[in-house]
Amino acid sequence: MPHPGDSVTLITILLVVLVVAAGLYFNRRVWRPRHAAAGIHGDGLKISEVTAPLATLAVLLLVFVLVQTYGSWAAAGRAETDEATATLLLFREIDLVGDPRLRHKLQKEVVCYATSVIHEDWSAMGERRISNVPTYWGARLREAGVRLVRTPNESTAGKQIIERDGERASARQNRLGEARPTVPDALSWLMLVAVLTVLAVLSTASSGAAAPIIQAGIVLVAAAAFTSTLLLISDLDQPYAGALRRDPTQTEFVRDQIAAEVRRPLPCDSSGLPTDAPGFRQATAPLG
């Protein structure tokens, strides 16, 4: 399935190419001949004078947003590490449960939760959505903890499980929060318009003293730099998709570690979908 970011990338590149090509064509066919015919070689617009304020605005916008999106991208990695750590601690706290059958059952559900995060939640986040499969396993674990709190001789284990499950749920919410866009659409359009305006002026207006090949080189270098930054911002703004996407490496490490300590079969399949809940239906919902 095509990712929404692919269309943004294509539109950005297409607009930049069109603006630069049209500007350079206009400069060679209209701007320079007109000034040459008028005999005004030194009165043409100087590129530095025309583009300096616009270029400053564009660069400041790009730098500010780039720092913001990188912060979100880095926070996504921290959130996943926190969730994986909380999942491991939850698995360990279940060792406090006295009933061996219940203990093994809950530990298997923790393995299924981690598996569902890897295979269900991660792909859903790439589309800025949330999967109901990890939510299902989290609810089962919390319900088990509540029942243990109300059970004589198991209340301590129940309290510990609920506390660790709360840490897991909080870390998951932080992870999901990083899947939401951090750059408003209005700001994205403002950056694109600022960049296109700078490139249009650079490619169109020039002093007669500037050789065509030099001007074209400056425009192409500027276009490459601005376009690369726009695409980098777009990629960083979605940490779970694109060329710089984060993979669930920490969760996979924890899942493999705890899965080796439980006996099969698990109450889920290889994707984390429950096999012992006939009424459950896999679904995703947009991130609010």
Q: Structural domain boundaries of the chain?
A: 4-266
Q: Which amino acid is at 95?
A: D
Can you give the pLDDT at residue 48? 59
Q: Is the model's pLDDT at 126 over the cut of 80?
A: yes
Would you place residue 1 in the very low, low, confident or very high pLDDT band (cuts 50, 70, 90)?
Answer: very low
Dist CA 37 CA 44 (whole Å): 13
pLDDT tens by residue, 186-196: 888 888 888 88
- Counting DSSP H helices and E strands in the chain, the numbers are 10, 2
Q: How is residue 213 written in tokens?
A: 């090949």
The reported pTM is 0.79
Task: Tell me how far apart the terminal alpha carbons of the chain are, to the nearest angstrom.
Answer: 22
Are the C-beta atoms of residues 261 and 108 closer than 8 Å to each other?
A: no
Dist CA 244 CA 238 (whole Å): 9
Are the C-beta atoms of residues 57 and 226 closer than 8 Å to each other?
A: no
DSSP secondary structure, 84-116, as one string: HHHHHHHHHHGGG-S-HHHHHHHHHHHHHHHHH
pLDDT tens by residue, 68-121: 999 999 999 999 999 999 999 999 999 999 889 999 999 999 999 999 999 999
**Residues 135, 157, 256: CA angle, nearest 5 degrees:** 50
Can you give the pLDDT at residue 186? 86
Task: Give the ranges where 94-211 is alpha helix by DSSP (H).
Answer: 100-116, 122-126, 132-149, 155-179, 185-204
pLDDT tens by residue, 210-263: 566 776 777 788 888 888 898 899 899 889 988 889 999 999 999 999 999 998
